[in-house]
Structure 1
Amino acid sequence: MISAHTGTHIREVEQQLLETSADPGMGAVLMQRAAYGLANAVVRELRGRGLGTYGSSVAVLAGKGNNGGDGLYAAALLARRGLRATAVLTAGEAHPAALAAFRAAGGRDAALGDGNAAELAADAARADVVIDAVLGTGAQGGLRGTAALLFEELQRNRHGLVVACDLPSGIDADTGEAHAPVLAADVTVSFGAAKAGLLADPGADFTGRLVTIPIGIEAALGAPGLRRLETGDLSALLPHPGRRSHKYSRGVLGVVAGSARYPGAAVLACRGALAAGAGMVRYVGPAEVADLVRRSCPEVVCGSSVADAHVQAWLLGPGLDDGAHEQLDRVREAAAAGLPTVADAGALPALPRHLSARTVLTPHAGELASLLERYDAGPGRAVVEDATLAAVREATRLTGATVLLKGATTLVAAPSGTVFSQAEASPWMASAGSGDVLAGVLGALLAQLAGDPGAFSALGLEEPDRWAAIAAMAASLHGRAGTLASGGGPLAASDIAEALPEVIAKL
């Protein structure tokens, strides 16, 4: 499991360690560890691209603070390994000891000033590697003045590898907000722990592949504020039927979905649930939609009464609109049962104002903006997309529910404050019906795992974070299945459901 912390928390831990350490040189030690890890990461990336250290070139864009110091020390190590090293001092000055080490290793530097941004950007753009070491975790806002001009020029002319030192300059380490211009990194080398803002959009757009380098502060960081489930976590958490399992012990999911206008949503939700291993799916809805579900999924048991559907979890809302009055009444009845529930967009208007962690809301950015407006906190879709981490946290605070915000990076926030971030999906999955399949997958997992907290406890995930972890599992499985089904090209939502069994079997 990948653990991430806010930049604010990491800085506080570092400061406390420096204040309590008996070694007055501890700050320099931490910086050297960071620089060593950064330099080695650059060497690995070069070799992965078929380039050696001798004859290659590195340009470091260095700010005046510790982030710039990390970059200059790393560039000094690279120079000693045979790279031609240059530095652009974006503030006209830099960390004195790091700059001295860089010069002693044979590096050449130039101060950024009025009138030379284009020239220095062109020189840097010709390097095999550009290290962005201007703004660190303590920076407020983005690049300004000539530094902003330098980065704008580099964005237009870059051709080599871009490696961000701790985080891309202009990305908020706490929230993931992006303050343009931001130079998109191919690799971000983060020190001590991943920064939360690198695992949330739009920050994740600029992060590239994330590499975390331990520097000796990790044990003091405590519980992470943001987590990402990995392959081993999914393998440990997925339900495993026993020899004497039966359809009822495997999890029964009730589905209230589909309407005269959007009947296909019910089919896709049921297909997603079946593919994710639900022992039984019970569909409750209009006869014409039920007929379509039966033809597509003969395994599904169809009916018209919520009261007659004995289930372990509910999926409510895919394909409902304001005119589906009978279906919305069914949503209200099912929600009142208090069972673990997935509530997709169409169900939101029929839900109580205050919910529990075992209710998982699954909006996209536009739907989340509408949900926040319902609570008189609506900043609009653009603001949600520009600060996804803040928006999903606000939504769970207001509703009391677990909130899954769909997107290129899917975020799941628990009322406790814990957030999960998953990003396995292919961009080709941005197609109609994909979210209905995801809702079905999540509903199936809730039905199967609602009564089995043991595996989650073993990973340190207790109530109410367990519901968020199940939602993160669903997002990860859904993304992996879509990526497999796509193979790099277009796909339909039903293809995601078809690929799910293979993904789960491999896990």
Structure 2
Amino acid sequence: MRYGHDVANVRAAEQATMARLPGGLLMQRAAAALAATGAEALGRVYGTRVVVLTGSGANGGDALFAAARLARRGAGVTAVLITPDRAHREGLAALLAAGGRTVTAPDASLRAVASADLVLDGITGIGGTGGLRPAAESLAEAARTSDAAVLAVDLPSGVDADTGEVPGAAVRADVTVTFGTYKPALLVDPAAELAGALRLVDIGIGPDLGAPVLEALQHADVAALLPRPGGESDKYRRGVVGVAAGSARYPGAAVLAVSGALRAGAGAVRYAGPGGEAVLARHPEVLVTAGSPHAAGRVQAWVVGPGLGDGADARTTVSEALATDVPVLVDADGLRMLDPRTVRARTAPTVLTPHAGEAAALLGRVREDVEAHRLDSVRELAARFGATVLLKGSTTLVADPSGETPVRVNATGTAWLATAGSGDVLSGLCGSLLAAGLAPRDAASCAAYLHGLAARLAQGPLSAMDVAEAVPAAWRNAMGA
């Protein structure tokens, strides 16, 4: 599992650790890791040109000490002092003693960046808010357009460490070296897109960190959660999932949702709706009824919504599913028919799987607002509906309605998943895991993980059915089989 901690937690852990260690040791550990990563990016240090973008505070100090190490190995190092009177004194002294130089004039600073082989971003740290100031903004843009490798110290300057929001101009890094723990901004878009490759360095604060606010599953975590059939298993014990999806206009949604459910290990799938003919043509093993969920028979979980349309029959379908005493996943058209009071009144779990546009409609916002504030949006949706919410997107987020557990972030996805019907496959996949008995948060997190991994294994360009057909391979990959 990868964990993300908020700024207050990190600062408290740093203070507690520093109280037990010799002065400056944490900064030297960070600088050593930065210098080693910088040397790796350069390939050859001697004779290269390194520029340090130096703001005030500890991040600037980390960058200056790292640059001093590179200077001692023969790099020509220039420190751009954005706020000269507030530069880290000890770090600056170490750089000058190692033969580095400083510039403050805007034109000279931009020329230095333009000719650099490596740029160290030490402008702002985890406490930075509000985006970059104009002087730093021009330097960030110069770094972006240069041929230099850009190495961010702890996180790219200009992003909000706790939320992943990017309120203005920000540095775009090729590599980010972060210390002690991941910061939420490194795992949640839009900030995560600016971080490049991530390298986590243990500087000793781990024992003093409190509870994380974010976590990301890895293969071992998924393998531990996925259900395995035993010797006593039969199709009913393995979980029966009901799928109420599709319509005369959108029968494909029914096929895709059922495909996701079947390939995620469901013992049986019951389909209810007008798409039965299309479903049986593709999957003859499915139990089909043309009626509503009440007519389908007993299931352990329902998937409702994809391709239903917005007619009276669709509303009846959603209402009947929500009236059951089993977990219900609501997606796509079903989301437009939700009343938060109805969802909150349910005694069984509910999982909602909106994309940004659907989340915006549920929250009364515009899509761009949700995309800019993904972490806040998924938490608010979960609290408002009393449901587990899987917010789809470039980094998929899963929030629990209690608000007491870390939000889970999934990073296995790929841009190729932005294709028609892939969300229907995800719904069926998650519904199958719910029917198998996984808790809603685990079912949603594992479904997102397998869905993204399946897309990577299928490789692009791909269709939604390609993703569904690759789910078994993703399952085996996660299980180490």
Shared fold per TM-score greater than 0.5: yes
Q: How does 1:356-435 map to 2 (within 5 A)?
A: 358-373=349-364, 379-417=365-403, 418-435=406-423
1:503 is aligned, of 466, 474, 477, to: 474
Deviations 1:85-139 (A, max 9, x none): 221111124100010011111212212x4xx24x422322322221111011111
Secondary structure of the structure 2 residue equivalent to 1:472? helix
Q: How does 1:191-230 map to 2 (within 5 A)?
A: 191-230=179-218
Q: How does 1:165-176 map to 2 (within 5 A)?
A: 165-176=153-164
Coordinate RMSD, CA, aligned: 1.7
Distance change in 2, residues 1:56/1:231 (3 Å): farther
Cα distance between partner residues in 2 of 1:82 and 1:137: 30
Q: For residue 39 of structure 1, what is the amino acid of its counterpart?
A: A
Cα distance between partner residues in 2 of 1:183 and 1:87: 17
Distance change in 2, residues 1:469/1:37 (3 Å): farther
Aligned to 2:323: 336
Q: How does 1:121-200 map to 2 (within 5 A)?
A: 121-155=110-144, 157-200=145-188
Cα distance between partner residues in 2 of 1:57 and 1:361: 51
Q: For residue 193 of structure 1, what is the amino acid of its counterpart?
A: T
Confirm or deny: 8 A CA contact 2:128 2:159 kept in the other structure. Answer: no
Structure 1 runs, 4 residues or longer, greater than 3 Å off: 15-18, 349-352, 354-357
Residue 16 of structure 1 deviates from its aligned partner by 4.8
Residue 64 of structure 1 deviates from its aligned partner by 1.5
Cα distance between partner residues in 1 of 2:340 and 2:297: 25
Q: For residue 505 of structure 1, what is the amino acid of its counterpart?
A: R
The normalised TM-score by structure 1 is 0.89
Secondary structure of the structure 2 residue equivalent to 1:250? coil
Cα distance between partner residues in 2 of 1:44 and 1:151: 22
Cα distance between partner residues in 2 of 1:92 and 1:67: 15
Cα distance between partner residues in 2 of 1:124 and 1:476: 39
Confirm or deny: 8 A CA contact 2:16 2:208 kept in the other structure. Answer: no
Cα distance between partner residues in 2 of 1:105 and 1:443: 60
Aligned to 2:461: 490
1:300 aligns with 2:286: yes
The normalised TM-score by structure 2 is 0.93
Distance change in 2, residues 1:270/1:70 (3 Å): same
Confirm or deny: 8 A CA contact 1:335 1:351 kept in the other structure. Answer: no
Unaligned runs of 5+ in 1: 374-378, 451-465
1:327 aligns with 2:314: yes
Secondary structure of the structure 1 residue equivalent to 2:238? coil
Secondary structure of the structure 2 residue equivalent to 1:86? strand
Larger deviation, residues 67-76 vs 77-86: 77-86
Cα distance between partner residues in 2 of 1:126 and 1:79: 17
Q: For residue 145 of structure 1, what is the amino acid of its counterpart?
A: P
Distance change in 2, residues 1:59/1:442 (3 Å): same
Aligned to 1:475: 448
Confirm or deny: 8 A CA contact 2:188 2:374 kept in the other structure. Answer: yes
Secondary structure of the structure 2 residue equivalent to 1:449? coil
Q: For residue 151 of structure 1, what is the amino acid of its counterpart?
A: A
Cα distance between partner residues in 1 of 2:389 and 2:359: 9
Secondary structure of the structure 1 residue equivalent to 2:288? strand
1:68 is aligned, of 33, 41, 60, to: 60
Cα distance between partner residues in 2 of 1:9 and 1:34: 18
Q: How does 1:218-297 map to 2 (within 5 A)?
A: 218-286=206-274, 289-297=275-283
Q: For residue 187 of structure 1, what is the amino acid of its counterpart?
A: V
Residue 245 of structure 1 deviates from its aligned partner by 1.7
Cα distance between partner residues in 2 of 1:300 and 1:44: 54
Deviations 1:457-482 (A, max 9, x none): xxxxxxxxx42232111111101111
Secondary structure of the structure 2 residue equivalent to 1:188? strand
Residue 17 of structure 1 deviates from its aligned partner by 4.8
Residue 22 of structure 1 deviates from its aligned partner by 5.5
Residue 196 of structure 1 deviates from its aligned partner by 0.7
> Percent identical across equivalent pairs?
50
Residue 215 of structure 1 deviates from its aligned partner by 1.6
Cα distance between partner residues in 1 of 2:131 and 2:225: 40
Aligned to 1:34: 30
Cα distance between partner residues in 2 of 1:434 and 1:107: 53
Residue 328 of structure 1 deviates from its aligned partner by 2.3
Aligned to 2:100: 107
Cα distance between partner residues in 2 of 1:263 and 1:299: 17
Distance change in 2, residues 1:92/1:313 (3 Å): same
Cα distance between partner residues in 2 of 1:317 and 1:383: 24
Residue 162 of structure 1 deviates from its aligned partner by 1.0
Distance change in 2, residues 1:277/1:22 (3 Å): closer
Cα distance between partner residues in 2 of 1:388 and 1:65: 28
Residue 393 of structure 1 deviates from its aligned partner by 1.0
Secondary structure of the structure 2 residue equivalent to 1:194? coil
Confirm or deny: 8 A CA contact 1:175 1:197 kept in the other structure. Answer: yes
Confirm or deny: 8 A CA contact 1:6 1:197 kept in the other structure. Answer: no
Aligned to 2:89: 96
Aligned to 1:460: none
Unaligned runs of 5+ in 2: none
Q: For residue 358 of structure 1, what is the amino acid of its counterpart?
A: P
Cα distance between partner residues in 2 of 1:17 and 1:123: 37
Q: For residue 385 of structure 1, what is the amino acid of its counterpart?
A: E
Q: For residue 492 of structure 1, what is the amino acid of its counterpart?
A: S
